[in-house]
A = this chain, B = another copy of it.
Amino acid sequence: MPTIVVEVMPKAELLDPAGKAVSGALARLGHTVFTSVRIGKRFELTVDGPVTEATLAEARMIAEEMLSNQVIEDVISVHEAPAVGVGA
């Protein structure tokens, strides 16, 4: 069944304490090439039927109103997953 992927990240102007902690840990472990880490969420919505423009619009609305907290997060992408059940 087709899948819509929603990606949510903390707003750029806000601190991300968990990301900061991971970033510090990576530096301590010698992975100094990565200067900062931010941690967001990735939702997979399984769609019953074909993905139409209306389905995508409904997913976008759900992403903005329910899957993200607009005070601290941005929805950065709502798109149909290219393949079904296959990771890259």
Contacts and interface: CB of A to CB of B under 8 A. Distances in A.
A53 interface: no
A62 B7 contact: no
A79 to B, nearest CB: 7
Nearest to A29: B66
Contacts of A55: 33
Interface residues of A, number: 43
A62 B26 contact: yes
B48 A33 contact: yes
B7 A42 contact: yes
Interface in A17-53: 19, 22, 25-26, 31-49
Contact of A26 (B9, B49, B66): B66
A69 interface: no
Q: Which 4 A-B pairs have the closest CB atoms?
A: A76-B87, A36-B46, A42-B42, A40-B42
